[in-house]
Chains A and B, each alone.
Chain A
């Protein structure tokens, strides 16, 4: 088995020590970006497929994320500035105000990173003004709102309005994530979409990045 496949398999097997060892070994002969994209990220893709098929549960996905991060920690010092340019987009993400849940976001962040996004994680129960400040500072393509309860999904309206009031809404896409989100409802609240799993969100966001010059449509109703 080639070493990149072994790395991916170690992520899927939840073997953190193995991921670290194999990643170090791979860096002897392969570029850090190749190790990241074709080893660690491929492992995350596979665990996503298994999750969608119902073969693994959230705790296993979370430990796979830990494995991915363990490998990323090994690779990161070797990534060059030119590797940064290979990001396909930038996301500012956080659990929406009032929502202290973190599991969904903690899965989404590494999945988005593994898919090639540069992710800035603002944490949990993020006040609207922090989203506004982060958009001003980081100029992301996308704002990700973690909404893990039906009650906090409703907060989307206020966060989108805060971005609009700051004159920032037209420059970003807004996506909601969580177990009970609904894309049409998210759009009615001014976001651009919603997804109940991180891998599906990646597909939506990749589509947005391909049409990044078109303006987001969402405005709170």
Chain B
């Protein structure tokens, strides 16, 4: 039995908890706030701090539940316990089971916004309302500016212009055409379908349902880490983006280079 420490984005909370509950390994879970891909340097710092807080000798490995996600992973390193990271551009790969399946779906229709239980729930998990009109279709604040910045905008430009700025935030989705719910048997009772259908209806997107695949996450938690699917980072090495099909690779870590 392996003793594993998971440090993961809360976006995958239900999926990881579901698998960890049935795992043969002993797994300690720690979830960090979703949305760090909007502030990758801040996110990287927080993940690195969590890695450094892991005591030496306690775990067989530290599992990082992140994709490359705007290069959050770049530069992460470990002093003692190896890191194990799925090779993924972002978390959608984790929910679809393989980077190849995600790539195929992405190539078929790049204008798809993917939803999972995590995307739909993490706003409420943080105390926000799922029905907030400001960016309600987003799990977090897409450009990291709501709601405190909205109040600053009101003060700076007036309410009308502040609301217009919020509308402008949506422009990044103007070429999206579909909303796809990735779900699993264990999430079918959560009412996710209705929520995503409503979002799609509001935004003029076509709704689609995709069967999720937990096999990649399952192997990750089981300690089955084939090289083409996972990067193992030993001490003295750090994560680098490779910008090829491997997605992430290794380079020597310079402790003085920080």
Contact = CB atoms under 8 A, between A and B. Distances in A.
A150 B172 contact: no
Interface residues of B, number: 32
Chain A interface mostly:
loop
A60 B152 CA distance: 12
Given A57-B149, A124-B175, A151-B106, A63 B70 contact: no
A4 interface: no
Contacts of A103: 171-172
B110 A185 contact: no
A98 B106 contact: yes
Contact of B243 (A13, A14, A60, A150): A150
19 contacts: A57-B144, A58-B143, A58-B169, A59-B169, A62-B168, A62-B171, A63-B164, A99-B110, A100-B111, A101-B172, A102-B172, A125-B110, A125-B175, A150-B89, A150-B241, A151-B89, A185-B241, A185-B243, A189-B243
Interface string A89-128: 0000000001111110010000000000000000011000
B161 interface: yes
Taking residues whose C-beta sits less than 8 angstroms from the other chain, chain A's interface range is 20 to 34
Residue from A60, A102, A106, A150 whose CB has the most chain B CB atoms within 10 Å: A150
Interface in B182-236: none
Q: Which of A57, A180, A189 has the most CB of B within 10 A?
A: A180
B107 interface: yes
Nearest to A63: B168
A154 B110 contact: no
B244 interface: yes
Contact of B110 (A13, A14, A98, A102): A98
Given A60-B165, A150-B68, A102 B171 contact: yes
B145 A57 contact: yes
B143 A59 contact: yes
A59 B168 contact: yes
Contacts of A59: 143, 145, 165-166, 168-169
Q: Name which of B40, B106, B168, B241 has the most chain A CB atoms within 10 A of its CB.
A: B168
A153 interface: yes
Contacts of A188: 243
Given A180-B71, A182-B241, A185-B243, A63 B110 contact: no
Nearest to A101: B172
B212 to A, nearest CB: 19
B174 interface: yes
B220 to A, nearest CB: 20
A179 B71 CA distance: 9
Interface in A39-91: 57-60, 62-63
B243 A179 contact: no
Contacts of B174: 102
B31 interface: no
A21 B247 CA distance: 51
A60 B143 CA distance: 11
A102 B143 contact: no
A175 B232 CA distance: 32
B59 interface: no
| 9 A-B pairs with the lowest CB-CB distances in the bound complex, closest first | A100-B175, A59-B165, A59-B168, A103-B172, A151-B89, A185-B243, A57-B145, A180-B71, A150-B68
